C-alpha cells in the first residue's frame, strides 16, 4: 500500500494531467466541482451532497430532496474521467474515480499493461514546488452578509466575471470621465436634472448599469463533442440550465454550460452614447453587471439602469411588467396594452419590402427598496439606438415637461427604419406606471 505522501503526489499528478488534457473543457461547474473534490481529498474529508452544492457549485440555497443538480454534474464528471482514461490517459499508472453514491475522489491503479501498474516513486520529503496543495475553498458567506451591498456600493453577483469585457468598459468610462471633467459647461448637467435621470442622481445610492446580454449553452453529440451553441429565451443563466436539466435529465449528457454570452452591438453603442450622462463630473459610485449574471441582491439598495433589448431583461422582466400597463405578447416583438387590448408590433427582423417600424420601451419607477429603476429597452437594434439618442439629448428631454411625466412613467416609442438609416424615435403612449406590490 502506498505511503500517504506518495499517494498525495500521485493524485496531484493525475489532477494536473486531467486539467491539462482539456477534458473538462470550459464548463465552470465541472471545473469547480473537480477542484472542490481535490481540496476535500487533501483535507481527508468526504463531503455530503449539500456541501458540494454550496461550496462546490456556489449555490446560495439547496434542497437535496428536490434538486438533482449535484447528481447531474457528478454523473458528468464521472463520464469525463472515464473518457480521459479511455483515451489520453489510457497509459497512466494510476487513475482517479468517483465511487458510486459518494462525492469524493479515489486514486486507483491504472489498467494492467503487461507489468505492475504501481510504479516506484522517488524518495521525497515534501511535495515538489510545481505541485502545490490547493487552498481550501472559502466557506459560503452567511445569508445576512451576502444580502448587503459591497463596500463599493453594489453586490458582485458571482466570481465568474468576464474580465476582458469589464476591463475594456472600465477603461473606456474612466477615459471619458477624465475628458468630461475638463469641460467648462457640460450639457449632461441639464440632462441629469430631467425626468428620466434625476431620480438616479438625487441621492448617494450607487448605480448599477445592467447590460442586456444573452446566455448561450453548448450542445454535444453522442460522443460529447460540442458541435453548436444554443440561445434559448427560457434559459438565461447557468442556474436556468441546471434547472432545465433537472426536469429533462435525458439532456444532461448533451447540454453544457460553457460560460458564454453575447452582447448585441446596439447595447454597447447605447452605453457608449450615454456614458457622458452616467459619468460627467460627479463622484457617483457605479458598477456594471451583465443581465445574465444579475441576482436579486443587486437590485436592493442600488439604483438600476438597464440598457439592452426587451428580450434580454432577465430577472428584471417580472419586476417591469408588475408596474407596466403593458404585457408581453406572443413574442418579444409584441407588447399588448392591457387597457385597450391593442397589440403593438415591431416589424424589424421580418422580411417586409416596405419600411420597417421598430419599437422601444422606456420605463422609470421605484424599486423594491426605495431605489429607482430606469429601463431602456429596444425591441431590436434600431429601437435601442434611437432611444439612447433621446435619453442623451437635452433638447429631446426638454419635451418631457410638455406631457408631464414625473419620476414614475412609461413610454412606448416607435422609429421607422429605412434601410440602414433610422428615423428619430416618436412616442406612441405616455402614462404613469402602476404602483408595485
**Does residue 20 fall inside a structural domain?**
yes
Q: Within this chain, do residues 425 and 288 fall inside the same structural domain, yes or no?
A: yes
Q: What is the pLDDT of residue 58?
A: 75
Q: What is the pairing mode between strands 356-366 and 409-418? A: antiparallel
Q: Which residue has the cell 447595447?
A: 267
Q: What is the pLDDT of residue 166?
A: 54
Alpha carbon distance 192, 284 (integer Å): 12
**Does residue 268 fall inside a structural domain?**
yes
Q: Within this chain, do residues 200 and 282 fall inside the same structural domain, yes or no?
A: yes
Q: What are phi and psi of 3, to 5 degrees?
A: -65, 150
Q: For all residues of the chain together, what is the average pLDDT?
A: 76
Tens digits of per-residue pLDDT, 225-284? 788 999 887 787 777 888 888 888 888 878 888 878 888 989 988 998 898 888 755 567
Q: Within this chain, do residues 109 and 225 fall inside the same structural domain, yes or no?
A: no
CB of 315 closer than 8 Å to CB of 323: no
Q: Within this chain, do residues 92 and 185 fall inside the same structural domain, yes or no?
A: no
Q: Within this chain, do residues 71 and 54 fall inside the same structural domain, yes or no?
A: yes
Q: Give the mean pLDDT of 118-129.
A: 36
Gyration radius of the chain over CA positions: 26
Q: Within this chain, do residues 129 and 168 fall inside the same structural domain, yes or no?
A: no
Which residue would you say has higher pLDDT here, 436 or 79?
Answer: 79
Q: Within this chain, do residues 96 and 182 fall inside the same structural domain, yes or no?
A: no
Q: What is the pLDDT of residue 240?
A: 82
Q: What is the CATH number of the domain that holds 284?
A: 3.30.379.10
Half-sphere exposure of 195 (CA within 13 A, CB side): 23
**Residue 243 CB: number of other CB atoms within 10 A?**
15
**Does residue 118 fall inside a structural domain?**
yes
Q: Within this chain, do residues 54 and 96 fall inside the same structural domain, yes or no?
A: yes
Q: Is 389 exposed, middle or buried (0-12, 13-18, 19+ CB in 10 A)?
A: middle
Q: Within this chain, do residues 168 and 312 fall inside the same structural domain, yes or no?
A: yes
Q: What one-character DSSP code corresponds to residue 235? A: B
Which residue would you say has higher pLDDT here, 60 or 199?
Answer: 199
Q: Within this chain, do residues 242 and 359 fall inside the same structural domain, yes or no?
A: no
Tens digits of per-residue pLDDT, 380-428? 888 899 999 989 887 777 766 655 556 788 999 998 877 666 788 888 9
Q: Among 89, 122, 140, where does a domain finish?
A: 140
Could you give the percent of the chain with pLDDT greater than 70? 72
CB of 307 closer than 8 Å to CB of 267: yes
Q: Which of 364, 338, 337, 339 is nearest to 433 (CA)?
A: 364
When divided into structural domains, the chain yields a total of 3
pLDDT at 202 over 90: no
DSSP 41-103: HHTT----HHHIIIIIS--S---TTT--HHHHHHHHHHHHHHHHHHTTTTT-SEEEE--TT--
What's the predicted TM-score (pTM) here?
0.58
Alpha carbon distance 373, 199 (integer Å): 9
Signed CA dihedral, 127, 129, 131, 135: sign only: positive
Tens digits of per-residue pLDDT, 286-333? 888 899 888 888 888 899 999 999 999 988 999 999 889 999 888 888
**Residue 417 CB: number of other CB atoms within 10 A?**
20
Q: Among 120, 140, 160, where does a domain finish?
A: 140
Q: Within this chain, do residues 251 and 271 fall inside the same structural domain, yes or no?
A: no
**Does residue 437 fall inside a structural domain?**
no
Q: Count H helices, E strands: the chain? A: 15, 16
Q: Within this chain, do residues 201 and 293 fall inside the same structural domain, yes or no?
A: yes
Tens digits of per-residue pLDDT, 332-363? 888 999 999 999 988 755 544 455 678 999 99
Query: Residue 152 has which C-alpha cell?
Result: 463599493
Domain assignment of residue 221, given as a range: 217-257
Alpha carbon distance 97, 104 (integer Å): 8
Amino acid at each position: 500500500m502506498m505511503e500517504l505522501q506518495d499517494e498525495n503526489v500521485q493524485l496531484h499528478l493525475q489532477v494536473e494531467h486531467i486539467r491539462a488534457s482539456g477534458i473538462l473543457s470550459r464548463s465552470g461547474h465541472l471545473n469547480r466541482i473537480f477542484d472542490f473534490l481535490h481540496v476535500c481529498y487533501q483535507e481527508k474529508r468526504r463531503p455530503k451532497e449539500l456541501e458540494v452544492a454550496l461550496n462546490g457549485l456556489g449555490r446560495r440555497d439547496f434542497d437535496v430532496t428536490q434538486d438533482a443538480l449535484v447528481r447531474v454534474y457528478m454523473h458528468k464528471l464521472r463520464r469525463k474521467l472515464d473518457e480521459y482514461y479511455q483515451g489520453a490517459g489510457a497509459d497512466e499508472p494510476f487513475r482517479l474515480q468517483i465511487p458510486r453514491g459518494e462525492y469524493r475522489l479515489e486514486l486507483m491503479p491504472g489498467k494492467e499493461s503487461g507489468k505492475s501498474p504501481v510504479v516506484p516513486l522517488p524518495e521525497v520529503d515534501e511535495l515538489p514546488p510545481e505541485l502545490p496543495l490547493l487552498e481550501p475553498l472559502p466557506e459560503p458567506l452567511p445569508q445576512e452578509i451576502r444580502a448587503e451591498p459591497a463596500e463599493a456600493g453594489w453586490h458582485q453577483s458571482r466570481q465568474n466575471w468576464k474580465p476582458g469585457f469589464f476591463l475594456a468598459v472600465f477603461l473606456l468610462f474612466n477615459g471619458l470621465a477624465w475628458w468630461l471633467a475638463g469641460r467648462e459647461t457640460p450639457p449632461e448637467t441639464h440632462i441629469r436634472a430631467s425626468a428620466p435621470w434625476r431620480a438616479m442622481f438625487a441621492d448617494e445610492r450607487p448605480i448599477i448599469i445592467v447590460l442586456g446580454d444573452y446566455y448561450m449553452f453548448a450542445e454535444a453529440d453522442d460522443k460529447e463533442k460540442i458541435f453548436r451553441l444554443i440561445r434559448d429565451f427560457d434559459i438565461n443563466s447557468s442556474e436556468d440550465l441546471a434547472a432545465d436539466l433537472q426536469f429533462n435529465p435525458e439532456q444532461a449528457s448533451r447540454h453544457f454550460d460553457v460560460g458564454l454570452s453575447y452582447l448585441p452591438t446596439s447595447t454597447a453603442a447605447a452605453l457608449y452614447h450615454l456614458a457622458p450622462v452616467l459619468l460627467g463630473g460627479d463622484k457617483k459610485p457605479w458598477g456594471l453587471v451583465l443581465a445574465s449574471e444579475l441576482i436579486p441582491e443587486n437590485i436592493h439598495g442600488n439604483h438600476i439602469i438597464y440598457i439592452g433589448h426587451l428580450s434580454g431583461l432577465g430577472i428584471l422582466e417580472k419586476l417591469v411588467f408588475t408596474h407596466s400597463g403593458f404585457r408581453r405578447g406572443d413574442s418579444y416583438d409584441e407588447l399588448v396594452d392591457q387597457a385597450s387590448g391593442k397589440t403593438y408590433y415591431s416589424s424589424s427582423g421580418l422580411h417586409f419590402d416596405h419600411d420597417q417600424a421598430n419599437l422601444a420601451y422606456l420605463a422609470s419607477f421605484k424599486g423594491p427598496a426605495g431605489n429607482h429603476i430606469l429601463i431602456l429597452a429596444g425591441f431590436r437594434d434600431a429601437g435601442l439606438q434611437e432611444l439612447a439618442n433621446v435619453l442623451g439629448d437635452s433638447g429631446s428631454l426638454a419635451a418631457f415637461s410638455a406631457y408631464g411625466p414625473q419620476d414614475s412613467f412609461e413610454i412606448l416609442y416607435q422609429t421607422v427604419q429605412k434601410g440602414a438609416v433610422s428615423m428619430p424615435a416618436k412616442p406612441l403612449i405616455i402614462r404613469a406606471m402602476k404602483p408595485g406590490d
